[in-house]
Chain A
Amino acid sequence: MIENLLAARLLMAISLGFHIIFAVAGMAMPFLMVIAEWRYIRTGREIFRELATRWAKGTAILFAIGAVSGTVLSFELGLLWPNFMAWAGPIIGLLFSLEGFAFFTEAIFLGIYLYGWNKIPPYLHLMSGVIVTVSGVLSAFFVVLANGWMNHPVGFQLLDGLPVQIAPLATFTNPIGLHETHHMILAAFVAIGFLVAGIHAFFLLRQPENPFHQEALRIALITGGLAALLQPLSGDLLARAVATFSPIKLAALEGHFHTTSGASFWIGGIPDVSTATISYGIEIPYGLSLLLHGDPMASVQGLMDFPRQNWPPLVVVHLAFQIMIASGFILMAMSVWGFWKIWRQKCLWKSRGFLRCLVGCAPLGLIAIESGWVVTEVGRQPWIIVGIMRTTDAVTPMPGLTVPLIFFTLLYLGLAGIVLWLLHRHLTVFPQTIELSGPPPRETHARS
Chain B
Amino acid sequence: MPGLEDILAGFILMSLTLYVLLGGADYGAGIWYLLARGPEAHAQRQLITTAIGPIWEANHVWLILVVTLLFSAFPLAYARVSTLLHIPLTLLLTGIVLRGSAFAFRSYDVQKSPLHRFWGTLFGLSSLITAMFLGIILGTVASSNLQNPHGGFVEVFVLTWIQPFPLAVGIWTITLFAFLASTYLIHETPFPALRRLFRRKALWSLAASVMMAILVLLLTKNYAPGIGQGLLQNSTGWVFLILTLLGMLGSTAGLWTNRFHLARASAIGYVTAIIWGWGFGQYPYLIKPDLTIYNTSAPPSTLELLLFVLVAGMIVVLPSLLCLFRVFKKIQV
Q: Report the minimal beta-carbon distance from B148 to chain A, rounded to whole angstroms.
A: 12
**Are B79 and A83 closer than 8 Å at their CB atoms?**
yes
**Are A89 and B75 closer than 8 Å at their CB atoms?**
yes
**Contact for A64 among B61, B80, B82, B104, CB less than 8 A:** B104
A154 interfacial contact with B, CB 8 Å: no
Q: Report the minimal beta-carbon distance from B32 to chain A, rounded to whole angstroms.
A: 21
**Contact for A85 among B71, B101, B321, CB less than 8 A:** B71
Residues of A44-103 whose CB lies within 8 A of B: 57, 60-61, 63-65, 67-72, 74-79, 82-83, 85-91, 93-94, 96-101, 103
Interface 9-residue window, one of B34-42, B107-115, B233-241: B107-115
How would residues 107 to 122 of chain A score, 1 for a CB under 8 Å from any chain B CB and 0 otherwise? 1111110111001100
**Contact for A75 among B82, B104, B108, B299, CB less than 8 A:** B82
**Are A61 and B309 closer than 8 Å at their CB atoms?**
no
A53 CA / B274 CA spacing, docked (Å):
43
A158 interfacial contact with B, CB 8 Å: no
**Are A74 and B302 closer than 8 Å at their CB atoms?**
no
Task: Return the chain A residue nearest B74 by Cβ.
Answer: A89
Q: Report the minimal beta-carbon distance from A122 to chain B, rounded to whole angstroms.
A: 14
A439 interfacial contact with B, CB 8 Å: no
A39 CA / B206 CA spacing, docked (Å):
52
Using known A-B contacts A68-B96, A97-B309, A105-B320, determine if residue A111 contacts B68 with beta carbons closer than 8 Å: no
A440 interfacial contact with B, CB 8 Å: no
Task: Return the chain A residue nearest B308 by Cβ.
Answer: A94
B217 interfacial contact with A, CB 8 Å: no
Interface 9-residue window, one of B83-91, B176-184, B222-230: B83-91
**Are A93 and B73 closer than 8 Å at their CB atoms?**
yes
Using known A-B contacts A64-B101, A82-B79, A86-B78, determine if residue A104 contacts B58 with beta carbons closer than 8 Å: yes
Count how many chain A residues have C-beta atoms less than 8 Å from C-beta atoms of the other chain: 68
**Are B108 and A422 closer than 8 Å at their CB atoms?**
yes
Residues of B within 8 A of A418 (CB): 101, 105
A2 interfacial contact with B, CB 8 Å: no
Residues of B within 8 A of A115 (CB): 53-54, 328
Using known A-B contacts A71-B60, A94-B305, determine if residue A60 contacts B320 with beta carbons closer than 8 Å: no
B260 interfacial contact with A, CB 8 Å: no
Interface residues on B, range: 35 or more
**Are B86 and A396 closer than 8 Å at their CB atoms?**
yes
**Contact for B100 among A64, A111, A425, CB less than 8 A:** A64
Query: Is the contact region of chain A dominated by helix, strand, or loop, or is it mixed?
Result: helix
A93 CA / B110 CA spacing, docked (Å):
41
**Are B298 and A90 closer than 8 Å at their CB atoms?**
yes
A165 CA / B301 CA spacing, docked (Å):
8
**Are A94 and B306 closer than 8 Å at their CB atoms?**
yes
Task: Return the chain A residue nearest B119 by Cβ.
Answer: A418
A397 interfacial contact with B, CB 8 Å: yes
A347 interfacial contact with B, CB 8 Å: no
Residues of A within 8 A of B305 (CB): 94, 168-169
A70 CA / B64 CA spacing, docked (Å):
9
A397 CA / B310 CA spacing, docked (Å):
33
How would residues 120 to 136 of chain B score, 1 for a CB under 8 Å from any chain A CB and 0 otherwise? 00000000000000000
**Are A75 and B97 closer than 8 Å at their CB atoms?**
no
A166 interfacial contact with B, CB 8 Å: yes
Using known A-B contacts A100-B65, A399-B153, determine if residue A94 contacts B57 with beta carbons closer than 8 Å: no
Using known A-B contacts A64-B101, A94-B305, A168-B305, determine if residue A71 contacts B93 with beta carbons closer than 8 Å: yes
A396 CA / B103 CA spacing, docked (Å):
32
A415 interfacial contact with B, CB 8 Å: yes
A103 CA / B317 CA spacing, docked (Å):
10
A357 interfacial contact with B, CB 8 Å: no
Using known A-B contacts A89-B71, A107-B58, determine if residue A68 contacts B320 with beta carbons closer than 8 Å: no
Using known A-B contacts A67-B100, A68-B97, A94-B72, determine if residue A108 contacts B327 with beta carbons closer than 8 Å: no
Q: Report the minimal beta-carbon distance from A121 to chain B, rounded to whole angstroms.
A: 11
**Are B104 and A65 closer than 8 Å at their CB atoms?**
yes
A114 CA / B56 CA spacing, docked (Å):
13
A398 interfacial contact with B, CB 8 Å: yes
B67 interfacial contact with A, CB 8 Å: yes
Using known A-B contacts A94-B72, A107-B58, determine if residue A60 contacts B90 with beta carbons closer than 8 Å: no
Task: Return the chain A residue nearest B152 by Cβ.
Answer: A399
Q: Report the minimal beta-carbon distance from B87 to chain A, rounded to whole angstroms.
A: 8
**Are A74 and B64 closer than 8 Å at their CB atoms?**
yes
Q: Report the minimal beta-carbon distance from A114 to chain B, rounded to whole angstroms.
A: 7
A342 interfacial contact with B, CB 8 Å: no
Using known A-B contacts A75-B82, A75-B93, A166-B299, determine if residue A97 contacts B69 with beta carbons closer than 8 Å: yes
**Are B75 and A111 closer than 8 Å at their CB atoms?**
no
A64 CA / B109 CA spacing, docked (Å):
14
**Contact for B68 among A88, A90, A99, A404, CB less than 8 A:** A99
How would residues 183 to 199 of chain B score, 1 for a CB under 8 Å from any chain A CB and 0 otherwise? 00000000000000000
Task: Return the chain B residue nearest A110 by Cβ.
Answer: B57
Residues of A within 8 A of B153 (CB): 399-400
Residues of A within 8 A of B90 (CB): 79, 404
**Are A415 and B57 closer than 8 Å at their CB atoms?**
no
A86 CA / B295 CA spacing, docked (Å):
13
**Are A108 and B68 closer than 8 Å at their CB atoms?**
no
Residues of A within 8 A of B83 (CB): 78, 82, 396-398
B323 interfacial contact with A, CB 8 Å: yes
What are 18 A-B pairs with beta-carbon distances under 8 A? A63-B57, A75-B93, A78-B67, A89-B72, A94-B306, A97-B65, A100-B68, A101-B316, A103-B64, A107-B58, A107-B61, A108-B58, A110-B57, A111-B324, A112-B323, A166-B301, A166-B302, A425-B110
The 4 closest A-B pairs by CB, nearest first: A93-B72, A89-B75, A78-B82, A90-B298
Question: Known contacts A111-B324, A422-B105; can you find 14 more A-B pairs with CB under 8 A?
Answer: A61-B108, A64-B104, A69-B97, A77-B71, A78-B71, A78-B81, A78-B83, A79-B82, A99-B68, A110-B57, A112-B324, A120-B327, A398-B86, A411-B97
B residues apposed to A, CB below 8 Å:
53-55, 57-58, 60-61, 63-65, 67-69, 71-73, 75-76, 78-83, 86, 89-90, 92-94, 96-101, 103-105, 107-110, 153, 157, 298-299, 301-302, 305-306, 309-310, 313, 316-317, 320-321, 323-324, 327-328
